[in-house]
Structure 1
Amino acid sequence: MYYELDELDHGIIKMMSQDGRISFAELSKNLQVTEKTIRLRYKNLLDKEILDVVGIVNPIAVGLKAGAIIQMKVKSRSMQKVIEELKQIPPIRYITVTSGEYPLLVQITVKDQEKITEVVYAITEIEEVTDVNTIIQLDVFKNTFEYIR
């Protein structure tokens, strides 16, 4: 279900996207409303599953220095089955259906080139995957969780 965000909701989300530990007092000061209003809006954003507060890991700081985008072609009417099998491969952090020649795409972040190879081998073991195109990420210049500007 779609929820219409107002200016205050946008402000809360934007500020929390920049600093997830910002206090309600600081939010209320910057957004010029009471702390009680912030608390109620925050709870509403959580309840409606618009906002989720989590710790974001810096992959490089924990030794995950290699990344790849892997595109796949799959047998007709096998998309859901392949998606379920991909969900079971731990290094895969992102799965999406796309348009174009390769209708399925995953993204991985791992410690080294060998681990990328292991993941590609695991994907090619899925019987319904008919073709794979692997794009190695050489450098990342922007990776943000700011969806609201």
Structure 2
Amino acid sequence: MKSILDQNDKKLVAALTQDGQLSPGKVAEEIGVTAPTVRSRMKNLIAAGVLRIAGLVNPTRTRGLTVALVGISLHSHEQLDEKLDQIGSLPRVNWCAVVTGRYDIIVEIVCSEEIGDLYDFLDKDLSQVGGINSSESFVVMKSRRKWLCLPDAVVEEFNE
């Protein structure tokens, strides 16, 4: 179930979106509440899965990162939610969504080893998900999106 954000929650999220390192005291000053209120609301939003504080990377300024979009067509729409969950849990997947149009699902993946990771994703990871009729991949050459959260598989590779 989706959480309803009140005006203070929205202001808190907006402040942290601009600068995730703001202290609760600074956020409190910006939105006009007390620091304990900010800490409590942050704790509740995090526990509810509404808010996550994370370091973001600018892929256009980071060598060795490749972003690709993959369009996926399924044999059947009977298990669309299940397929979305399976694909979303694969390594390197940053996000995936059910869409209208030519494809059933669009996936954004982040690769740290250039094109080899994309091949491994298509050949090994995606092939584990049954019911896929076809896929088409698009390597992002240039984007206006400035920041992205790295998927767990890439974070693990960076930690090696």
Q: TM-score, normalised by structure 2?
A: 0.72
Question: Which ranges of structure 2 fall in alignment gaps of 5 or more residues?
Answer: 149-160
CA gap 1:25/1:88 in 2 versus in 1, 3 angstroms: closer
How far is the alpha carbon of 1:22 from its aligned partner? 0.5
Please list, as runs of the form range in 1=range in 2, the aligned pairs for 1:117-136 lying within 5 A after superposition: 117-122=119-124, 123-124=126-127, 126-136=129-139
CA gap 1:11/1:144 in 2 versus in 1, 3 angstroms: farther
CA gap 1:86/1:47 in 2 versus in 1, 3 angstroms: closer
How far is the alpha carbon of 1:6 from its aligned partner? 2.6
Match of 1:112 among 111, 114, 127: 114
Could you tell me which residue of structure 2 aligns to residue 40 of structure 1? 40
Percent of matched pairs sharing the same residue? 20
Report SS of the residue matched to 2:10. Answer: helix
One-letter amino acid matched to 1:8:
N
One-letter amino acid matched to 1:137:
V
Could you tell me which residue of structure 2 aligns to residue 101 of structure 1? 102
Please list, as runs of the form range in 1=range in 2, the aligned pairs for 1:1-149 lying within 5 A after superposition: 1-59=1-59, 63-76=63-76, 77-79=78-80, 82-83=83-84, 85-87=86-88, 89-110=90-111, 111-122=113-124, 123-124=126-127, 126-144=129-147
How far is the alpha carbon of 1:60 from its aligned partner? 6.1
- Distance in structure 1 (CA, Å) of the matches to 2:49 and 2:83: 27
Number of aligned residues: 145
Q: TM-score, normalised by structure 1?
A: 0.76
- Distance in structure 1 (CA, Å) of the matches to 2:117 and 2:2: 39
Report SS of the residue matched to 1:132. Answer: strand
Structure having the higher Rg: 1
Question: Which segment is superposed worse, 118-127 or 30-39?
Answer: 118-127
